[in-house]
Each structure stands twice: as structure tokens, then as C-alpha cells.
Chain A
Amino acid sequence: MKELIEKLKQKDQKALAKLITYVENNEDTSFIEELPSSGSKIIGITGSPGAGKSSLVDAIITKLREAGKTVGIIAIDPSSPFTGGAFLGDRIRMKKHFLDDGVFIRSMGSGNSLGGLNESIFDVIKLMDTFGFDYILIETVGAGQSEIDVVFASDVVILVLSPGNGDEIQLLKAGIMEIGDIYVINKADLDGANSLKVQLEYTLSFSNVKKPIIETIATSGVGVDKLVESINDCFYNFSKNGELKKRLNRRIKKHAETIVLKKVKHIINSKETKSVSSLVTETIKSLCNMV
């Protein structure tokens, strides 16, 4: 373990990969806290299935690499609730970066998590941060209306929309529509892109904070320059107005919550089923005994 961590600090990709597997499969990952941070910029990318998240990630990687930045990618796809298995296919869209040593792509199943990420996400982010990527991109599972955990993991959230996913009533709903710092209308060459933009502008005009809307065609790279510029603006503003610090604190809290919840689940599952109230009392007792 010590050896792996040393290698991680020396930017050994194999060590990073092994450590990610370790935190995915072990309950106690407290060693993570001791690791140094390199100050990676963490970007969450979410949106409905097929909106073009992976293709957009691919296009963003290209731009960041042109600027000489290194990038770590965590690409999450759903795990089966029945078998636990998963088909992880985000990587396919990022083929052209496979041989680039400045890019590291890791696919993960969502596991038991319902928020669009994976329970180990915070540990994996920290490992990539210690490794020293300039940017970490987190691609969520295809998200519906309430899979919003990406907010707790990232510094900046990009919400990817594409034409044909409903009318402005969808845009007015709470949940995922609120979490974007940057809104992307991908597949901007398709019918309906313009009316989506008008509706989105209209919806966003209700809020006090002005948020950018960027039109892209991820597969041909159109609009991606503008998107990356917008991302960097966002980081600049957030570091000035203290938002980054706030989000870091939020991330730490959510990480702690995740660890506690994991323990609670573990305890509840290990107890005999009697009544709800006895399970609650016994679980709290066991938790207290752990301290």
C-alpha cells in the first residue's frame, strides 16, 4: 500500500488504477485523508442519457490538452440493480485520447448509489487530485430529474441538454435543471435546438444569477472553445467570490455523510429483522459503540 501511494505521487498510472480499485472494494479508506492535494479543478458533467455527455467530454479533453493541461476522467454508467453487473461504454467516445499520457480514463459502475455517481467517488477524486491532474472530469450516469449528487462532488457543474427532451415545463421543474453552472445545448444543429435555447433563456431569466448557455456540436467540436472559456471564467469567478471554498466544504460534508451512511447500511443489514423501531435503536447503539 505504502509503495502504491509513493508511486501515485510520482504520477504512476498503474498505481493510480490499483488504488482506485482498492477504494472501490474496501470499506476503510481513511488513508485518503493523509494524501496531499494538487488543487485539481473538478468539473461535473451531467444530463439525460444520449444527450452527448461522453462526446462532449471527449471534445473538452481535446481542448484542454491543446492548452497543455492534463486530465483525469471518471466516467460512470449504471450498475444493474439485479445482478450488480454493468456495461461501461463511455470510453468508446474518447478513443482518440487512449494513447495520450496526459489523459487517464476510468470507468465505474454506479453501484448501489442512486444519485448518479458511485459511492467511492470522493475517494477516487482525491486519488486523482493527489496524482496531480490539472482537471478532473466526472461524467455521471444518464441523469433524470433528481440525480444531482454531482453537485456535491464538483467545483463546477455542466448540464448537458439536447433538443427533443420535452417542453418548457420540464425546464421549470426542480432538481437537475437547477444544478448547472453552465448550460450546454448539445446537438445544436438538430431541429428544436433554437426553441430549446429560447425556452431555457426564458426559464433561467427568472433567477438572479446569470448563467451561460453554450450551444455545441460535440462530435465536430463546434462551440467547445466557447465552453472551455466559460468553464475557466466560472473557476475565476468562483475563486474570487468564495464559492469554490464553499463547495469544497460542501464536498467534505457530503463525503463524511457517505461514509456514515455506508456504515449504517452495513449495520442494518447485519442485524436480525424484528421491528422497525428496534432496528433503529440497535443501529444507533452500534454506531455509538464504534466511536
Chain B
Amino acid sequence: MEKKIRVLIAKPGLDGHDRGAKVVSKALRDAGMEVIYTGLRQTPEQIVKAAIQEDVDVIGLSILSGAHMSICKKVLDLMEENGIENIPVFVGGIIPEDDARELKKMGIKEVFGPGTPLSKIVERIKGLFAEV
């Protein structure tokens, strides 16, 4: 049996724009992955807990509120605290280039800005899964 890639798609923070998260979720589903969608306004604690219980291979955070720096830091810290820092995290949203560089330094594996082709996201996630 080939293992299905399990991806958690979460929307941390307070913005309600979940179109992007849904479009990406559907693309990943169509690429044969199991997508666990946790919905809007998730706290980092909720995201990390869900990632543990669902034993996901990759975590995707969709953030359009501008709070990406603090949210990502919190999520990564909590992941380390809970011993799941090995799960790769990617971020989608409107992220300025400088911030994207900072996020990658922080440990975020990939940042997908507006206009990223879905096929690129799918390929990159497959790559992240293979690297672990």
C-alpha cells in the first residue's frame, strides 16, 4: 500500500478569507492527498494539537491578516515543545518578500504568495513529504 500524504490546512488568526485555503485544499485532494481542513480562526495551540492527533505529514497555514511573523513563530515553538518539529510547515498568503525570507530562516519550509500555480504547490508538498 502506498502511504497517502496527509496534510493539515489551517487558518490561524482572525481574518476570515478562506478562499485560498479551500482552493489549495481541493488541489491537494485532487492530487491524491488526504487534506484535513480545520477551518477559520484557529489558535496555534489548536493547530498543533490537531496535527498530533491527525498524524499529518505536512502542515499548511493560510494567513492573510498580516500577523504571519508572530503566528508562525508561535506555531513552530509549540511544535518543538510537543516534539513534532520534524513536520514541514508551509505558508500561503500575502507575505512581503522580506518577511518570507525571515520566515524561512525561522524554519518555515515554503512560502506561497498570490498567483502561485497550484501545480507548483502540489509538487513542492510532494517534495517536502519525500524529504522527511
Tell me whether A17 and B38 are in contact in the complex, defined as CB-CB below 8 angstroms, given that A83-B31, A87-B25 are known contacts.
no
Tell me whether A87 and B37 are in contact in the complex, defined as CB-CB below 8 angstroms, given that A17-B52, A17-B55, A20-B55 are known contacts.
yes
Minimum C-beta distance from A194 to chain B (A): 32
- B52 close to A85 (CB less than 8 A): no
Q: Of the candidates B3, B4, B83, which one forms a contact with A14 in the assembled complex, judged by CB atoms under 8 Å apart?
A: B83
Q: Does A9 have its Cβ within 8 Å of any Cβ on chain B? A: no
Closest to B84 in A: A14
- B49 close to A98 (CB less than 8 A): yes
Q: Does A80 have its Cβ within 8 Å of any Cβ on chain B? A: yes
* Bound-state Cα–Cα, A81 to B82, Å: 35
Q: Interface code B30-64, partner A: CB below 8 Å = 1, 0 otherwise?
A: 11111111110010011001101111000000000
- B39 close to A92 (CB less than 8 A): yes
Q: Which residues of A have CB within 8 Å of B50?
A: 91, 98, 105
In A66-110, the 8 Å CB interface with B consists of: 79-80, 83-89, 91-92, 95, 98-99, 104-107, 109
Q: Does B109 have its Cβ within 8 Å of any Cβ on chain A? A: no
Q: Interface code B14-29, partner A: CB below 8 Å = 1, 0 otherwise?
A: 0000000000011011
- B53 close to A95 (CB less than 8 A): no
- A95 close to B83 (CB less than 8 A): no
- B46 close to A25 (CB less than 8 A): no
Tell me whether A106 and B54 are in contact in the complex, defined as CB-CB below 8 angstroms, given that A14-B83, A26-B1, A85-B28 are known contacts.
yes
Q: Interface code A228-258, partner B: CB below 8 Å = 1, 0 otherwise?
A: 0000000000000000000000000000000
Q: Does A48 have its Cβ within 8 Å of any Cβ on chain B? A: no
- B29 close to A83 (CB less than 8 A): yes
Closest to B40 in A: A92
Give the total of A residues in contact with B, Cβ under 8 Å: 28
Q: Which residues of B have CB within 8 Å of A25?
A: 1, 3
- Most chain B CB atoms below 10 A, which of A13, A85, A99, A105: A85
Q: Which residues of B have CB within 8 Å of A107?
A: 34, 36, 54
- B28 close to A106 (CB less than 8 A): no
* Bound-state Cα–Cα, A98 to B84, Å: 17
Closest to A20 in B: B55
Minimum C-beta distance from A137 to chain B (A): 14
* Bound-state Cα–Cα, A21 to B1, Å: 12
Q: Which residues of B have CB within 8 Å of A89?
A: 37, 39
Minimum C-beta distance from A113 to chain B (A): 14
* Bound-state Cα–Cα, A91 to B40, Å: 12
- A99 close to B49 (CB less than 8 A): yes
In A205-235, the 8 Å CB interface with B consists of: none
Q: Of the candidates A18, A20, A85, A88, which one forms a contact with B32 in the assembled complex, judged by CB atoms under 8 Å apart?
A: A85
Q: Which residues of B have CB within 8 Å of A91?
A: 36-39, 50, 54
| 15 sample A-B contacts, Cβ–Cβ < 8 Å, listed by A number | A17-B53, A21-B6, A26-B1, A80-B29, A80-B32, A85-B30, A87-B26, A88-B35, A89-B39, A91-B38, A91-B39, A98-B45, A99-B46, A105-B50, A109-B4
Which residues of chain B have a CB within 8 Å of any CB of chain A? 1, 3-4, 6, 25-26, 28-39, 42, 45-46, 49-50, 52-55, 82-84
Told that A79-B34, A85-B31 touch, could you supply 11 new A-B pairs with CB distance under 8 A? Answer: A14-B52, A14-B84, A18-B55, A25-B3, A83-B29, A85-B28, A85-B29, A86-B34, A91-B39, A104-B53, A109-B34
Which residues of chain A have a CB within 8 Å of any CB of chain B? 13-14, 17-18, 20-21, 25-27, 79-80, 83-89, 91-92, 95, 98-99, 104-107, 109
